[in-house]
Amino acid sequence: MRHISKLALIVVFAVAMLVAIAAWRMHQSALDARKLADDVQTTRTHAQNGEPDAEYRLGAMYYHGQGVPQDHTQALNWYRKAADQGNPQAEYGVGYMYDTGHGVQQDFVQAAHWYQQAVDKGNRQAECGLAAMYYEGRGLPQDRAKAVTLYRRSADQGDAIAQYDLGRMYYYGLGVPQDRTQARLWFRRSAANGDERAKNLLGLKLEPAVLFLAIQAMAGIAFAFRPLSLNLWEPNEGIHDRGDWLSVGAGALLLFTAGFSWYGYSHNLFWCWIYGVTGFQLLKWSLDASALVLLYFAFRQKKRLQS
């Protein structure tokens, strides 16, 4: 009965926390929606008065569908108005739309022209876009050395995409001498700036991993300490048979794997790829599998003794 009452308290507390979090998120969503609607109206008023920054922002709103229905034609219209007044972000936006064919017929020559206009003003996104065109020879003669120069200029300003692409060029020796150390450096910077490809490459997708590692660590504590008479729920149980020793071993391995995994994620462990996964991931999965095997035999031993 004591176990049931403690478990009930935990469940009630968890449900209360989830309800509170859900209510807070709904309130925040309503506030954000009202704020966005006001922002759209203000931006539209300034854009209609010919202010280039507002024209660019309104174009971005139409492009992404933020506060207004998504409309690439309207986005290009407002981008173009701002670009004609020399706004570098809008020049990049027009170039990107010509580059990708969003809202306009794809035209690499026009894309390169507008990218160059923004590059001349130091826009890091345009530097990255123009670098990609030089790298692939899209609308421009292929020139990987020039691509590296532009990628580096953009990467030095913190552009995550350019940092990833520059790391890739160093990793494979494309346009630069192959240098895996430089590749790792740029991949890590890209991941730190939020690039999903770099995070996947380095095994840094921490959002689900944090919860999983916390659960894994708690499971390790439970299985390792329960036979050692340190478990609060069933005190003074002690070690009596081989199953208890297997439980201790499995718990210790789970704890070690959780700590090893956290260290690896935190320090951006970067090992060679094997069939699309890193050596770090393979080792982690092998340790997890070993712990599960130990747990299987521990439970099997306990079941055998009980029968």
Residues 192, 47 within the same domain: yes
The reply to whether 32 falls in a domain is no
Question: Rounded to an integer, what distance in angstroms lies between the CA atom of residue 58 and that of residue 60?
Answer: 5
Between 215 and 226, whose confidence is greater? 215
**Domain boundary pick from 159, 182, 202:** 202
Tens of pLDDT, residue by residue over 196-224, are: 888 777 755 445 556 667 777 777 777 77
**Residue entry with tokens 């174009």:** 59
Q: Please write down the long-range contacts of 92-98, taking CB distance under 8 Å and 24 or more positions apart.
A: 92/118, 92/123, 92/125, 92/126, 92/129, 93/56, 93/59, 93/60, 93/63, 95/126, 95/129, 96/125, 96/129, 97/63, 97/72
155-159, 167-171, 244-248, 263-267: least confident range: 263-267
Q: pTM for this one?
A: 0.58
Report, as an integer, the average pLDDT of 25-41.
Answer: 73
Question: Rounded to an integer, what distance in angstroms lies between the CA atom of residue 105 and that of residue 119?
Answer: 22
Between 302 and 49, whose confidence is greater? 49
The reply to whether 112 falls in a domain is yes
Structure tokens at 242: 């081989």
Range from 29-33, 89-93, 171-175, 255-259 that averages highest in pLDDT: 89-93
The reply to whether 11 falls in a domain is no
Domain range holding 261? 206-306
Residues 159, 229 within the same domain: no
- CATH assignment of the domain containing 137: 1.25.40.10
pLDDT of residue 232: 46
Residues 195, 223 within the same domain: no
